[in-house]
Amino acid sequence: MSERRTAATTPVLRRITAEAVLSALVTSGELNANDLITATGLSRPTVHSVCDELIALGWVVETGGAGGTPGGPRADAAPGPVRSGRPSRRYSLNAGAGFVAGVDLGATKVTCCLADLKGRIVAERTEAWRDEHVGAPERLRITRKLLQELLPKAGIDPRNVLSCGMAVPAPVTSDGHAVALESYLPGMAALDLRESLQPDFSWPVLAENDANLAVLAERWLGVAQNVDNVIVLLAGERLGAGICLGGRLIRGGGAAGEMRFLELVEGVGNTDAVGGMCRELGAVAAAEIIAGERDEAPGGSALVALSGGNPGSMTAEIVVDAARRGDPAAVEVIAVVMERTARAAAVVSTLLDPELLVLAGGPAGAGDVLLPALEQELSRLDSARPRLAASTLGDHSALTGAVRLALDHAFEVLLD
């Protein structure tokens, strides 16, 4: 190899090895050399050398010899006779050396958070939109306001925030624009989301479709860890699919996983999802019970009782809770909603043949009610049958993915 090629290649290789070590430390706690060798495939001398460099930069700390004791075996020693020596060197990410911001710019609310370099949320705030037709400039103004309030709450200097990940309920093109209908997200398509936090913050903003970030989150911290072929079906207000095949996120031109084709699917007709449909149909059912239009008496209806006798206060969580208690009207609502959801799931599963399909973004903690109904409907349709799971991240799938997106960018910047 020529001297020129060696000089050009070595920094690249060092960066790759540093990225591998940082990635292992992000997803784990304290690791010794053996742990890092297993996680990265690097040699022992390279692991120690890279860790020394990262310690000098302030991004990694050496946490001492917790894995061994003087005179005893080292935790990272090769198998063989016991030899005395100093305790094993152990390493951990310096999680407080920097922070990232995460934003879930949802259809009905916005949630903002600040997280450390391990992705642990240190401060979070949510605010509902005053109505579903709020324009994009107001949505982003509220987002900046929430972030301004979070920084002093968490005791974080804005200069220590390295990047911001933003989840958007629409496809996002490579030039930072959302492909969104005016009737759905007024004014969003006209804005460059990469500049959405200006003039208040100069952090780099990485905007991405919320379903894509949900699948990133589930593979990082959720139910899809170590699963390379998975679809996350976001089932809050509107259906969207995050697709990972062969361990790679499938974006296409940015709109892969969009579900508007459901308008052409018999028995579905639109992208209405579990959360929104449960709320709307539950409100209708409660109103009918109160008006005496159903056999069920208002006094015996869990749906009516849990909503305080006010159909306008109905939520998807109330419907799920009532169904869990065996309320006939709520059980009927769940059946209708999951029949439509099963058709959507059957289409994407037949096309893409995932190992796992995750239901996320709908009513929190509803897997015990929704998954059996979904399984039953998929069986009736005689379609592709991936393994089913409900997200354990609650309504934080997209937000968690936004944090991970910001972290990935932050580590690229750190290594620069």
Domain that residue 42 falls in: 3-69+87-93
Residue 112 falls within a domain, yes or no? yes
> So what's the pLDDT on residue 86?
59
Report pLDDT for 166: 98
346 and 402: one domain? no
The Cβ of residue 9 has, within 10 Å, a number of other Cβ atoms equal to 11
Q: Please indicate, yes or no, whether residues 278 and 331 belong to a single structural domain of this protein.
A: yes
Where in 205-294 does DSSP place strands (E)? 205-209, 230-234, 240-245, 248-249
What pLDDT score was predicted for residue 309?
A: 96
| 74 belongs to a structural domain | no
Select from 93, 125, 140 the last residue of a domain.
93
Final residue before a domain boundary, out of 59, 93, 127: 93
Distances 281 to 4, 286, 330, 331, 412 between C-alpha atoms, Å: 69, 9, 9, 11, 47
381 inside domain: yes
Asked if 97 contacts 413 with a C-beta cutoff of 8 angstroms, the reply is no
Do residues 190 and 126 share a domain? yes
Block means of pLDDT (10 residues each) for the chain, length 416 residues? Answer: 46 85 86 94 93 92 59 41 63 94 95 96 97 93 98 96 96 92 90 95 96 96 96 92 96 81 84 94 97 90 96 96 97 96 93 95 90 94 89 94 96 80
171: three-class secondary structure by DSSP? coil
Q: Dihedral (C-alpha) 258, 261, 262, 266: value to the nearest 10 degrees?
A: -160
The CATH number of whichever domain residue 360 belongs to comes to 3.30.420.40
238 lies in some domain: yes
- The secondary structure element, H or E, covering residue 166 is strand 161-168
How confident is the model at residue 85, as a pLDDT?
A: 55
Question: In this structure, is residue 159 part of a structural domain?
Answer: yes
Tens of pLDDT, residue by residue over 3-55, are 444 344 577 888 889 989 988 998 788 999 999 999 999 999 999 999 999 99
Same-domain check for residues 121 and 55: no
User: Does residue 217 share a domain with residue 323?
Assistant: no
- Asked whether 222 and 27 are in contact (CB, 8 A), the reply is no
pLDDT at 87: 67
Say whether both 260 and 380 belong to one domain: yes
Q: What is the pLDDT of residue 376?
A: 93
Same domain, 366 and 272: yes
Q: Is residue 77 domain-resident?
A: no
Q: Let me know if residue 75 belongs to a domain.
A: no
HSE-CB for 403 with a 13 A CA cutoff: 25
HSE-CB of 20 using CA atoms within 13 angstroms: 19
User: Are 235 and 375 members of one domain?
Assistant: yes
Whether 306 is in a domain gets the answer yes
Q: Are residues 372 and 238 located together in one domain of the fold?
A: yes
Residues 148, 288 share a domain: no
- How many domains does one find in the chain? 3
CATH of residue 36:
1.10.10.10
Q: Same domain for 368 and 333?
A: yes
Please check whether residues 324 and 235 belong to one and the same domain: yes
